[in-house]
Structure 1
Amino acid sequence: MNFKNTGYIWAAALLITSSTFAQVKKSKTPARKPAATAAKPTAIANAISAVLPVDPYVTIGKLPNGLTYYIRPNGQPAKKAQLVLVSKAGSVIETDAQRGMANFIQYMAFKGTRDFSQSEMNAYLSKLGGRYGADTSAFASYDETVYQLTVPADSGKALSTGLNLLANWASHINFDENAVNTTKALLGAKAAAGGQTAEDRLMEQTLPVLLNNSQYAKRAPLGAAAAINTFTAASLKNFYTDWYRPDMIAVIVVGDINPKQVEEMIKFSFSTLRNPTPAKPQPQFNVAPVAGTVVKFATDKDFPYTLFQMLIKHPPAITKTKADLLRAVRINLFNQILNTRITDLTKIPIRPITYGQASYADFMGNQDAFSALAVVNAAQGLEGAVKAIVGETEQARRFGFTLTELEKAKQSAIAQITNVYSAKANKPSANYTNEYDRHFITRQGIPGIDYEYNTYIDNIGKITLAEMNALAAKIITDQNRVLIVEAPESQKANLPTEQTLLKWVSDAGVGLKEYVDDNSIPLMSKLPEPGKAESIKVDSILQVTNLTLSNGMKVILKPTKFTPNQVLVSGFAFGGTSLASDADFVSANLAASVISNSGVAGYTQTQLVKKLRDKGVSVSPYIGDVTQGISGYTTADNFDDAMQLIHLYFTSPRKDADVWKAYVNQAQTALTQGANEPGVVYQDTIVAVLNGYAPRFMPMTAAKLNAASLDKAYNFYKARFADAGNFTFTLTGDFNTDAVIPYLETYLGSLPGTNSKETFKNLGIHPPTGQVTKTVYKGASTRATVQLVYSGKYDYSEANNLQMDALEEVLNIRLADSLKDASILSPSIRVNYAKNPEGNYKVTIAFLTDVANTDKAVEYILTEISKLKQTGPTEGEIKMFILRQARNIQGQYKQNTFWQASLSTAAQNQQDPGKILYRIQQLDQATPQSVKAALNKYLGSNLIKLILLPEKN
């Protein structure tokens, strides 16, 4: 796997190769001639073991110098091409003295090359319209270093220039001494500081165990400060010469291209590259297996919860033959079934875990691994979580799966594959480049979606329960197993001993019984009396139909063919928690979460999840500050179930005391633990300050929890959903308008409408005005966390929103790169604006920096903003904003999510939905002058500084 983030909490790929399987209806498969005679067993075995064919749409070639290239035409996105350079120079091949060198060279690549000075490179990359740099468009991992560009494909010059830049990165990086020293200071400091987050620091503790002290365990891509500080231009150039060589490099080009033309360009740009003589053999490393079970406890002061993970490592299985492909089909089904069981543990009233997953997939260090992971429900304790998740895996190992589970998994997989296959013409080029990267590094097969589909559809029905149960027994073992517990430092004294943890794992298998899968009860025993669609208006320009039902409910329908079988559903009405008193706010705020986890009518939440798990239906209620509503999605095939569920959330929500108790217990435990967690205290402070210390936004207390009740929460929920006539629903996706109207009349039109005309209250909650600084001293991090927030009143309009979007882009362009040179890490600029309950905006600049650099970093940013307000943005920056926005909007017009959000937002803010079509034409209203005015208007005197520093000694 591309271990880009070097993390190890991972989920298995949904389907069996990185390209994923796909399927269409059986009737649409190409006709096949019947075999003249039955195949002999030997012939079948040979076919199964045969190497997979290569996707006929990809051209794979090798230059005389050994460089490999992959070329594939693809129209998504249109007039664009993805260019990728892959080098096998990953961190695992570094010597002790070279630790961090692969990552270092990745940074040096953006400091200048033979044909591109740093300023020329920056100018070229800026014109491409994306965000390019060592942190954003390149990465170094254990087994590879990768560089990525997206260039215009309708210009031969743009393609050739992009390929020339890749060739420069492959063989002509400058290694200027000053640039080396600047980079050394930056990366050396990063490595010396260690992990910047609690997750990073925990990983440093656990990786030696997971990787069995192998070469992989000693070669984290970030490197070691002691080694980095000794790097010189000469030593870096030696590593570069040894390992950045054509026989260890691949060039990948996928996009709206002419393959023959691109092939000639690759030959022109890369044929002159030469391998060193003599060439060093590329070293190979593996992770030795461990007999039995290894246990590791890891704690960190800033980690917010307790986590348990069981990993069982296996030799890698690279999909190269049809037999491998069929094994991967079974693994996909295994992952679906077991992960569904684990997820169910988070849905029961007294849940032992708050999050869980289980899957088998490729891991790191040339290993595969089965992982079962759980975030502990603190109210129930670690022991309960361990026994619950290990019990589920042991139940699968011992008893296997049920036939109904297997058949549901098959149907679910087929549905998923159908969607992917049907949308294969819209598959992004980046997906293909990832596949070819994997093929180059691991030799993973790339037979193409058509071959995968045919193999899948012809064989999934033949998979037996016995095969699946045998697979479970093989995957889930007690050998080469690692048990990991991660927890806050404050909980260290409460963690069990290794012997106790092992006993919990052993006891998890005591008294297990076979799994029962029963969901035969219908959602609704009797259908409601339908309402009527009293008004139907068609907007032929937007291709939208607007209904008014007899109960007063409005429905907006936008049929599309963007994603086959997908329907997005959402509905809103005004009110929300603004209608709750401060005294009852906690009850009101918990209401939707508790109800959505309690089930509906005769179904508990556990039963509901089981019934709907394989139908592609997810619908849940919410209650926000000023609105309440329903949101979710469904497949077109199961639209009826989704509509029934919406009806029941209005009319028959369940009141489950156990669920309420579980929420309250969890909140009480979080209160105790959160008092010592820097991130929690900091976030509580941010919420309180930005909401003007309004009582309902102050940190939770035991007294507030004790005052809350299930009755108050349930009654508040019922009141918010009492008048369906206040609601507006939006449906977007693969449906026929005439066909769905009867469903809407039956399930939505039958809901009670009381003509209450309920709306929200403006509670006058907003950030304080003027200059405010709030510093939180908590934890022991060497990094300071800072947010600078500008805020104020806002006149919400299309014109103003455009200027705010441009302001955000200009701040990112102007500040993001320059901040890094000021020892400011992870900069993030966000602009938020809203109309309700009153027009308001926030501009948030967030970043990390060394504690000693905090004041200097804040002053640097404010100075840069002051300069920008005086000079305004450049023409080039505004052109870049317009270019990026235009490209984004063009792509969004073909996405269900865009239309769903845009139509719903327009309805909620009483905007003309027709303007959705003219967003690109309106972009030229952003000018250097208009954005300069916006900068001076919105980055004014209302500034809140929110700072998290370590505790004072």
Structure 2
Amino acid sequence: MNLNLKLSAVALALVITSGSAIAQVKKKPAVAAKNKPAAAQVATKGNLLPVDDQVIIGKLPNGLTYYIRKNVEPKNKAELYLVNKAGSVLETDDQQGLAHFTEHMAFNGTRDFPKNQMVDYLQKSGVKFGADLNAYTSFNETVYQLPIPSDTVKIFENGFKILANWAGYVSFDPSEIDKERGVVLEEERLRGKNAQERLQLQTLPVLLNNSRYALRLPIGKEDILKNFKPETIKSFYHDWYRPDLQAVIAVGDFDPKRVEELIKQDFSQLQNPAGEKPRTKYTVPPTPGTAVKIATDKEFPYTLAQIVVKHPGAPTKTTTDYMQQIREQLFNQMLNARLGELLQKPNPPFLYGRSSYGDFIGEQDAFTSIAVSKPGELEAAVKAVVAETERARKFGFTLTELERAKQDALVGIGNAYKERDKTRSVNFVREYQQNFLTGEAIPGIEFEYNFYVNNIGKITLAEMNALAGKFISDQNRVVIVEGPDKDKDKLPDEKTILQWIASAGQNITAYVDNVSSDPLMSKLPDGSAVTNEVKDEAIGTTTLTLGNGVKVVLKPTEFRNDQILINGYSFGGTSLASDDDFTSANLAAPIVSSSGIAQFNQGQLDKKLAGKNVNISPYISDYAQGINGNSSPADFETAMQLVYLYFTQPRKDKDIWQSQIDQTRSLLANRGLDPVNVFQDTVSAVLSNHNFRSMVTTIDRLNKATLDKAYSFYKSRFANASGFTFTLVGNFNVETIKPFLIHYLGALPSTNSNENYKNLEIHPPAGIINTTVNKGVGEKSSVQLVFSGDYDYNDANNLQMDALEEVLNIKLIERLREQESGVYAPGVRASYHKIPGGRYTITIYFGCAPENVDKLINATIEEIGKIKQNGAQPTDIQKFVAKEARSTQEQLKENFFWTSYLASSLQNKENPDQILSHVSSLEQVTVQSTKDAANKYLSGKNYIKLVLMPEKTEKK
């Protein structure tokens, strides 16, 4: 369960610190299933977009809307969603946080599933709580998701009963409410009580103009969450969980007519309340001129500026709307391609820069520019980002830029069209959800593809060049500057930041599109012939050995229509670099993969590949080097050319080297301000026994690294392909692609030397270690408990380790979350490997209040003790087996699984056929086997306790 704020303009801090954000570009209506080709549509004003005829849309007499679609990806599974037009924006003053709390209570007892029976029932059916069974609350909606098997009639039909229970029959048992208070408060602690939250509280009132949205963050207020009476939350549920504000979405492998019957059967009895409240639509009122907010925090490690120009927004409903949406997509792509090129300069003007137009909030769109600067260089960052928009406004785009953007857009829509019969059910659900919530059109991929093909060529350069002027304005504009407290004196005041923005781009010139007309390769390599061919009929693979020693494992599939996944590896990696050269070696692959190839720099290469569905990158890990990538069948030869060139003509780019070193140095400067970074750096140090190779690099080591050493190490790692094994999985015919393998992979350089990795013995130290980090001003702690040791890597042991991990997850959710109400999301991660030596690590992690650390650690150790003494409970084993069987059956139909699995089997010298007996082997997990595994792997002989606590304050 999560809080979804959908605030693109304030998401940057999250982009940098957690790797996630809400995309700001408007989403195209998602893909639809196979249908007859639609007629070409002309973009005439007022033409309503059609409704995809593959979806059944209906409404019950009580007002509940439903969407039903048959879809067989994945097979024997259905996605059932309950969507409520009820979120935090509807809360009264004394209900703040109760929209989200209501979501929690839906999993803690309903009419037909008292207390925790619903979660328990679904887990036994193979549905995992949190990963599968989940929900989210936002300003305007609360959405429940239930992926459920459709091949067992009772389980499937009960899925609709569960949705109906959420919709109208949540119990709100007072004792369950009191238990859940702690869980919700811990969710707030986990996601908040940090620099991002504190800055958000300063900036949102300005960004959202003190509107209802600024006053109704979904998490609510702590004092209300701690003290509200059951009647208050029941009142919210009574007022807003009602059928005329609800939709049921069902997409999956089922009979649509039977599903419609089930919806009518389970939801027709729901009633709207008498004298129902009107569902107000809240907006963010425009602000004359520009509002500026400067905000700082002690723990914020970046300096950034955001410029948000708000515009009236509306869902895409007509062909005119859709044409404009395509223009916006092209505009965003071209503008950000230019910003990306600035990062390829030897001294980039920013750490991160982006500008785009798209959805905002409160029936608004926004043109948002974001610049993250190096320490002390905010002016340069802001001016560089703003100048690119100004350059587009003054001089426009070039015809070559527009053509490339159109090609890429056609590739994107073409991919969706080619995969129209392989689209996963959840993609349709998201589309129908937006249709219900906002009225966004759902024309289906047939219409969309034909519309693109027939209309994108009509978009002119003049139309695109007019957009920058439309998006840029000094009205209804908000400028936000954020930075660390220690740099407060260096930040601009309101007058200065506005001067920077106004003066940016004063001396700019027109953009020059640096393209090359040279082919990637002018001559086809001779290659080498196939010297051996072995087929494995059981799993459908063919293994070729080429004359230069390269091995290629091929698995043709029909899981995707337009995808071939490519992976190649050989042993060695940075383990072969000396300690003095390690930092240079560790940078080698990132530098080369960002530098282009042969005579093409990275910008030229990106432009050369426009309109192609291909992505190839080299990598060097601790113990291997290789190639990862993918392509469409049509672009497979281009993929092979790129692989060949990354081996034979890697590019040495001084500008890219200097750029990356400069960026890394800047990121390290304030890293120590963030408590999470400090804690994770300590974790890395302790678990590697303070081996510098596994720790964050230092400025001193960075300064000693050189491009010559990095480039030389890269070339040495890719000088001998005779030890390489490639795995190719996807839609291809072995005989058809064999000539490409012979000519390109068969031509890779070979010295026939036999290289291997070095075991550097980097692993957690033996014994018992306790480490506490005191960092952070928020009342927030993190805990990691690590058990480790030697490991006999084999299929039987791996199965028992996986079972132990899941059983521990189940027990710690029950104990730490449900019983103790002390955490939100405890987790267990069991990892084990054969390379470079047999080792295992089991890590238990959770966040909590500082005063509860010892109590929750003791509870964890107690639960481990129960498994060591008695083994797992049979019902928990049943849950693991059900989940593992379901997930295995799904994975066997996925290209990504097979690519990873085949490579892993080869590296570990395992028989890949054993995956076919994995489900039947699950019977080997018993009460006794889990007891044995717990005593073996959780003995406590090697036990590391790592705790993050807030900074100690001196008592006055």
User: What's the TM-score, normalizing by structure 1?
Assistant: 0.93
Q: Which residue of 1 aligns with 2:91?
A: 94
Residues of 2 paired with 1:487 and 1:519: CA distance? 41
Q: 1:349 to 1:20 in 2, by over 3 A?
A: farther
- Which one-letter code corresponds to 2:475 in the other structure? Q
Secondary structure at the counterpart of residue 286 of structure 1: coil
Residues of 2 paired with 1:256 and 1:485: CA distance? 50
Residues of 1 paired with 2:337 and 2:415: CA distance? 20
CA RMSD in angstroms comes to: 2.7
Equivalent in 397, 412, 415 of residue 411 of structure 2: 415
The answer on whether the counterparts of 1:65 and 1:274 sit within 8 Å (CA) in structure 2 is yes
Structure 1 runs not aligned, ≥5 long:
33-38
Equivalent in 508, 512, 515 of residue 504 of structure 2: 508
Residues of 2 paired with 1:592 and 1:188: CA distance? 43
Q: Which residue of 2 aligns with 1:19?
A: 30
Secondary structure at the counterpart of residue 619 of structure 2: strand
1:475-505 CA distance string (max 9 Å, x none): 3333322233333333333322222222222
1:784-805 CA distance string (max 9 Å, x none): 1111111111111122212211
1:560-603 CA distance string (max 9 Å, x none): 33223322222111111111222222222222222222332222
Q: Where do 1:270-309 residues align within 5 Å? A: 270-309=267-306
Residues of 2 paired with 1:580 and 1:861: CA distance? 41
1:122 equivalent in alignment to 2:133: no
Measure how far apart 1:136 and its partner are: 5.6
Q: 1:607 to 1:450 in 2, by over 3 A?
A: closer
Structure 2 runs not aligned, ≥5 long:
12-20
The answer on whether the counterparts of 2:564 and 2:728 sit within 8 Å (CA) in structure 1 is yes
Equivalent in 706, 710, 716 of residue 707 of structure 2: 710
Measure how far apart 1:155 and its partner are: 4.2
- Which one-letter code corresponds to 1:127 in the other structure? K
- Which one-letter code corresponds to 2:510 in the other structure? E
Q: 1:751 to 1:786 in 2, by over 3 A?
A: same
1:221 equivalent in alignment to 2:218: yes
Q: Where do 1:436-451 residues align within 5 Å? A: 436-451=432-447
Q: Which deviates more, 138-147 or 671-680?
A: 671-680
The answer on whether the counterparts of 1:563 and 1:733 sit within 8 Å (CA) in structure 2 is yes
Q: Which residue of 2 aligns with 1:643?
A: 640
Q: Which residue of 1 aligns with 2:18?
A: none
Secondary structure at the counterpart of residue 4 of structure 2: coil
1:201-233 CA distance string (max 9 Å, x none): 333332222211100110001111233344212
Residues of 2 paired with 1:913 and 1:603: CA distance? 40
Residues of 1 paired with 2:566 and 2:798: CA distance? 26
Measure how far apart 1:29 and its partner are: 4.0
Secondary structure at the counterpart of residue 555 of structure 2: strand
The answer on whether the counterparts of 1:556 and 1:730 sit within 8 Å (CA) in structure 2 is yes
1:488 equivalent in alignment to 2:484: yes
The answer on whether the counterparts of 2:29 and 2:444 sit within 8 Å (CA) in structure 1 is no
Equivalent in 393, 417, 425 of residue 429 of structure 1: 425
User: Which of the pair has the greater relative contact order for Cα pairs under 8 Å at 6+ separation?
Assistant: 2
Secondary structure at the counterpart of residue 673 of structure 2: coil
Measure how far apart 1:20 and its partner are: 4.5
Measure how far apart 1:843 and its partner are: 0.8
Q: Which residue of 2 aligns with 1:35?
A: none
Secondary structure at the counterpart of residue 744 of structure 2: helix
Secondary structure at the counterpart of residue 260 of structure 2: helix
Residues of 2 paired with 1:474 and 1:489: CA distance? 36
Q: Which residue of 2 aligns with 1:248?
A: 245
Residues of 1 paired with 2:601 and 2:191: CA distance? 46
The answer on whether the counterparts of 2:688 and 2:764 sit within 8 Å (CA) in structure 1 is yes
Secondary structure at the counterpart of residue 111 of structure 1: coil
Q: Which residue of 2 aligns with 1:36?
A: none
Q: Which residue of 2 aligns with 1:475?
A: 471
Secondary structure at the counterpart of residue 281 of structure 1: coil
Measure how far apart 1:73 and its partner are: 1.9
1:833-857 CA distance string (max 9 Å, x none): 1111101111111111111211222
Q: Where do 1:890-929 residues align within 5 Å? A: 890-929=889-928
1:68 equivalent in alignment to 2:79: no
Q: 1:642 to 1:13 in 2, by over 3 A?
A: farther
Equivalent in 627, 631, 649 of residue 630 of structure 1: 627
Q: Where do 1:651-800 residues align within 5 Å? A: 651-697=648-694, 700-800=697-797
Measure how far apart 1:859 and its partner are: 1.4
1:164 equivalent in alignment to 2:164: no
Residues of 2 paired with 1:124 and 1:952: CA distance? 45
The answer on whether the counterparts of 1:23 and 1:417 sit within 8 Å (CA) in structure 2 is no
Q: Which residue of 1 aligns with 2:16?
A: none
Q: Which residue of 1 aligns with 2:860?
A: 861
Residues of 1 paired with 2:237 and 2:702: CA distance? 60
Q: 1:664 to 1:57 in 2, by over 3 A?
A: closer
Measure how far apart 1:194 and its partner are: 8.4
The answer on whether the counterparts of 2:549 and 2:723 sit within 8 Å (CA) in structure 1 is yes
Secondary structure at the counterpart of residue 824 of structure 2: strand
The answer on whether the counterparts of 2:555 and 2:728 sit within 8 Å (CA) in structure 1 is yes
Measure how far apart 1:333 and its partner are: 2.2
Q: Which residue of 2 aligns with 1:462?
A: 458
Measure how far apart 1:90 and its partner are: 1.1
1:147 equivalent in alignment to 2:138: no
Secondary structure at the counterpart of residue 426 of structure 1: coil
- Which one-letter code corresponds to 2:950 in the other structure? P
Residues of 2 paired with 1:561 and 1:263: CA distance? 31
The answer on whether the counterparts of 1:73 and 1:255 sit within 8 Å (CA) in structure 2 is yes
Q: 1:381 to 1:499 in 2, by over 3 A?
A: same
Residues of 1 paired with 2:895 and 2:78: CA distance? 24
Q: Which residue of 2 aligns with 1:949?
A: 949
Secondary structure at the counterpart of residue 295 of structure 1: strand
- Which one-letter code corresponds to 1:948 in the other structure? L
Q: 1:274 to 1:426 in 2, by over 3 A?
A: same
Residues of 1 paired with 2:251 and 2:50: CA distance? 19
Residues of 1 paired with 2:80 and 2:432: CA distance? 12
Q: Where do 1:588-603 residues align within 5 Å? A: 588-603=585-600
Secondary structure at the counterpart of residue 107 of structure 2: helix
Residues of 1 paired with 2:322 and 2:477: CA distance? 26
Q: 1:554 to 1:212 in 2, by over 3 A?
A: same
The answer on whether the counterparts of 1:110 and 1:134 sit within 8 Å (CA) in structure 2 is no
Secondary structure at the counterpart of residue 149 of structure 1: strand
Secondary structure at the counterpart of residue 363 of structure 2: coil
The answer on whether the counterparts of 2:775 and 2:951 sit within 8 Å (CA) in structure 1 is yes
Q: Which residue of 2 aligns with 1:107?
A: 104
Secondary structure at the counterpart of residue 824 of structure 1: coil
1:806 equivalent in alignment to 2:803: yes
Measure how far apart 1:768 and its partner are: 0.7
- Which one-letter code corresponds to 2:876 in the other structure? E
1:343-391 CA distance string (max 9 Å, x none): 333334433334444332222222122233344345x832232222222
Q: 1:492 to 1:97 in 2, by over 3 A?
A: same
Secondary structure at the counterpart of residue 860 of structure 1: helix
Residues of 2 paired with 1:938 and 1:338: CA distance? 53
The answer on whether the counterparts of 2:391 and 2:509 sit within 8 Å (CA) in structure 1 is yes
Residues of 1 paired with 2:552 and 2:284: CA distance? 58
Residues of 2 paired with 1:880 and 1:192: CA distance? 29
Q: 1:160 to 1:700 in 2, by over 3 A?
A: closer
Measure how far apart 1:943 and its partner are: 0.9
The answer on whether the counterparts of 2:125 and 2:155 sit within 8 Å (CA) in structure 1 is no
Residues of 2 paired with 1:701 and 1:419: CA distance? 43
- Which one-letter code corresponds to 1:473 in the other structure? G
- Which one-letter code corresponds to 1:921 in the other structure? S
Q: 1:707 to 1:266 in 2, by over 3 A?
A: closer
Equivalent in 587, 601, 605 of residue 604 of structure 1: 601
Q: Which residue of 1 aligns with 2:382?
A: 386
Secondary structure at the counterpart of residue 826 of structure 2: strand
Measure how far apart 1:6 and its partner are: 4.5
Q: Which deviates more, 802-811 or 304-313?
A: 304-313
Q: 1:374 to 1:396 in 2, by over 3 A?
A: same
1:20-51 CA distance string (max 9 Å, x none): 48999xxx94689xxxxxx9xxxx78x64133
Secondary structure at the counterpart of residue 590 of structure 2: helix
